[in-house]
Amino acid sequence: MSALYRGAPAALKRFVETAVERSTRIPYAGVAHEPEVFLRKTSRAKIVKKYLHKHWLLKWRGQSRLELSSAADAKRLLWIYTGKRNFGDATMDMSGRALLKGRGFDIDLFTLPNLHKLFEEDDVFQHVYSDLQQLAGRQYDAIVMSEFNLPSIKLKARNFRRLPYVCLFQYFYGPDRNQTTFSYAAVNHAFSLGYAPASIVALSKPYLTGKAGTRESVRALVPNEPFVALAVGGLDTNRTYGRWGELLDLLDRSDEPGIPRHIVLLGSDNGLAMAEVLLKRTFSTLKISSCVARLTLLQSREVAAQASLFVGADGGLMHVAHSTPTSSVSLFSDREPPYLRLTEACRSIGIQSTGDVDEIAPTSVMNAIRTQLVGLSSSADPAGLAGPDKPGVAA
């Protein structure tokens, strides 16, 4: 802490601490996050600057006085999500809406164009929009803002400037956290639902849905026998697993009756090269089929939902798979603590590497598969408590 700060007036110190507290600490019990890690590498001056920018923009645009303590009495709401563009973060950040299902709220979503397809078949949102012109003439009682980021504040002030609102994540930014549990806790608070912290932790799970037509569209691609869904490919090399061939060799040699003999490959076009390599391999007992780059994300979700097990590295498809009842084995690099990515309801075994995800030994993945499918005991701890390259269970 600088000498200038130490000599500052008490009122200024209180303001700084309030800004830091609201920006880095989650006020709900049971929501795992790492403020200390963030504060060790980020100056208070930078945190306060970001806080002030958003705080004064809300005041300058006349929005501060419109904030509600609860949205429980609002019936027609527009939820604004203009946060992270990737599917995994969006799935986790929005998952708390599951608590609102069947409660009589009429909720529309306005989101980024690339996220439209992720939520377009939702059973909580009545309509999903990504073009402001589509909102012309629609009437709402209140706005739900996911967070106080500059695009959301400007969008709210410019297009819905007189409507009251609640904001789920408020000024929080920076520290790594369990986004799924945070979403559930924030929705519980914003809508005065009354769940206890322990219940929120137990209920927390990524939430997505698909319509009957989507389920029907993948029927021909789903094997008529038990199968394991394997997610291949990835955008980030740190989180892209390349040792699937070694794992399939282990599965091929296994004679345990609880392990399916059919493997279905899932993924987008960045997994095509790996899928091609795996399809060319010869196995004694395994059958390999590929849906890579053939399905939408919601179609891939339906395939994962019918699998005996999902296995994949940290990424959008993994979080989408966790929105299904299927148990999983989830692979993480040293940068991704499993306890901040998984919840108990995910029914997943998380394995964290000491480096890139590719450093996880295929034998470790195989042991986790055995634990999930055959029920064999392993050295398993609660999710995120396991050491590197050692399974940690969230079940």
pLDDT tens-digit profile of 258-293?
999 999 999 999 999 999 999 999 999 999 999 999
pLDDT level of residue 85 (50, 70, 90 thresholds) = confident
Asked whether the predicted pLDDT for residue 384 surpasses 50, the reply is no
Would you call 192 exposed, middle or buried from its count of C-beta atoms within 10 A (0-12, 13-18, 19+)? exposed
CB 328 within 8 A of CB 346: yes
The pLDDT score that the predictor gives to residue 172 is 97
Could you report the per-residue pLDDT of 203-221, keeping only the tens digit for each? 999 999 999 999 999 999 9
Q: What are phi and psi of 394, to 5 degrees?
A: -120, 105
Asked whether the predicted pLDDT for residue 56 surpasses 50, the reply is yes
The pLDDT score that the predictor gives to residue 10 is 78
The pLDDT score that the predictor gives to residue 109 is 98
The pLDDT score that the predictor gives to residue 183 is 98
Could you report the per-residue pLDDT of 114-171, keeping only the tens digit for each? 999 999 999 999 999 999 999 999 999 999 999 999 999 999 999 999 999 999 999 9
Q: Is the dihedral of CA 341, 345, 346, 348 positive or negative?
A: positive
**Summary mean pLDDT of the chain:** 93
Of the candidates 131, 172, 220, 235, the residue with the CA atom closest to the CA atom of residue 31:
172
In this structure, the strands spanning 391-394 and 348-352 are antiparallel
Of the candidates 118, 271, 295, 327, the residue with the CA atom closest to the CA atom of residue 218:
295
Tell me the sheet residues that pair with 310: 229, 328
User: Which domains, from first to last, does the chain contain?
Assistant: 1-208 (no CATH), 212-394 (3.40.50.2000)
**Other CB atoms within 10 A of residue 317 CB:** 27
Tell me the sheet residues that pair with 230: 265, 311
CA angle 200, 114, 82 (to 5 degrees): 55
The pLDDT score that the predictor gives to residue 392 is 54
The pLDDT score that the predictor gives to residue 13 is 83
CB 268 within 8 A of CB 387: no
The pLDDT score that the predictor gives to residue 6 is 58
In this structure, the strands spanning 76-81 and 391-394 are unpaired
The sheet that has 348-352: what strands, in order across it? 287-290, 262-266, 227-231, 309-313, 328-332, 348-352, 391-394, 381-382
| Mean pLDDT computed over 189-193 | 98
Asked whether the predicted pLDDT for residue 239 surpasses 90, the reply is yes
Q: Is the dihedral of CA 105, 110, 116, 118 positive or negative?
A: negative
DSSP assignment string, 278-330: HHHS--SS-EEEE-TTTS-HHHHHHHHHTSSEEEEESSHHHHHHTTSS--EEE
pLDDT level of residue 60 (50, 70, 90 thresholds) = very high
Could you report the per-residue pLDDT of 297-314, keeping only the tens digit for each? 999 999 999 999 999 999
The sheet that has 165-167: what strands, in order across it? 125-129, 106-111, 76-81, 142-145, 165-167
DSSP category for residue 387 = P
Distance CA 55, CA 63 (A): 10
**Other CB atoms within 10 A of residue 129 CB:** 17
Does the global pTM surpass 0.85?
A: yes
Between residues 208 and 390, the one the model is more confident about: 208
